[in-house]
């Protein structure tokens, strides 16, 4: 009887009370819905709409994946234990793999890093995907005494992009941007298109001009 508390004041509508008419109409619709429900229920259907219930044969397909790494093969090329999911920059071998998927050498795939300087505030750096940003050198070039990576939780509100999909193009604000000097060696480079797994391939000079980047 929730409807009773919400129904409009009674008004005479040609011999019918408007509130009571609306209530009886809703009750009719409810009866029709219940009737259709009972009809479907009477079919005795056995539908399992729960998510993801593979049979045993499908589960067996994944077993070999559990044994691809032996006890002595958990260290990647930069010395990091691959079981440590918290690595901010990711596993180098995986970054190289995705560079190959994009159809160009890893040296031509550039990642976008957002930093904060003690004097300048936010700065953006575009560097080859396999490289690591030298924060000390970047601080010197940008006129800061100290430079640090922003926290991953700040990335979305500051740039509009999520981790793994940060692009130097189209950020919420136009931050001072620096691009690694090796960009001049290539006719094309790839940068994030703003979504994970999506890349833009463009002439490096076009990128530098568009974001007004300085070379370092």
Q: What is the CATH number of the domain that holds 173?
A: 3.90.960.10
160 inside domain: yes
Give the per-residue pLDDT at 105: 83
18 inside domain: no
142 inside domain: yes
* Closest listed residue to residue 88, CA positions, set 68, 111, 107, 109: 111
Give the per-residue pLDDT at 160: 94
Q: Which pLDDT tens digits describe the chain residue by residue (216 residues)?
A: 333 444 444 444 444 455 555 556 666 688 888 888 888 888 888 776 666 677 778 778 777 777 766 666 677 777 777 766 555 556 777 767 766 776 778 889 999 999 999 999 999 999 998 888 999 999 999 999 999 999 989 999 999 999 888 999 999 999 999 999 999 899 999 999 998 878 899 999 999 999 999 998
Give the per-residue pLDDT at 107: 86
Give the per-residue pLDDT at 97: 73
77 inside domain: no
183 inside domain: yes
What is the domain extent for residue 199?
Answer: 92-215
Q: Is 173 exposed, middle or buried (0-12, 13-18, 19+ CB in 10 A)?
A: exposed
Give the per-residue pLDDT at 213: 94
Question: What is the spatial distance between Cα 187 and Cα 131, in angstroms, rounded to a whole number?
Answer: 20
5 inside domain: no
204 inside domain: yes
Give the per-residue pLDDT at 16: 46
85 inside domain: no
How many domains does the structure of the chain reveal? 1
Give the per-residue pLDDT at 214: 93
């Amino acid at each position: 009887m929730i409807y009773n508390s919400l129904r409009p004041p009674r008004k005479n509508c040609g011999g019918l009370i408007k509130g009571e008419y609306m209530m009886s109409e809703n009750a009719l619709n409810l009866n029709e819905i219940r009737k259709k429900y009972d009809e479907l229920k009477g079919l005795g259907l056995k539908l399992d709409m729960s998510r993801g219930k593979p049979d045993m044969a499908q589960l067996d397909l994944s077993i070999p994946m559990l044994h691809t790494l032996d006890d002595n093969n958990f260290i990647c090329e930069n010395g990091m234990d691959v079981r440590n999911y918290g690595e901010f920059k990711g596993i180098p071998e995986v970054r190289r793999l995705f560079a190959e998927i994009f159809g160009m050498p890893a040296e031509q795939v550039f990642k976008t890093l957002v930093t904060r300087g003690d004097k300048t505030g936010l700065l953006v750096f575009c560097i080859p995907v396999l490289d690591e940003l030298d924060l000390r050198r970047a601080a010197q070039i940008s006129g800061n005494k100290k430079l640090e990576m922003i926290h991953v939780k700040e990335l979305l509100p500051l740039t509009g992009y999520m981790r793994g999909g940060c692009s130097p193009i189209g950020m919420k604000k136009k931050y001072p941007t620096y691009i690694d000097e090796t960009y001049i060696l290539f006719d094309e480079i790839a940068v994030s298109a703003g979504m994970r797994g999506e890349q833009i391939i463009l002439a490096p000079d076009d990128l530098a001009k568009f974001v007004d980047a300085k070379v370092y």
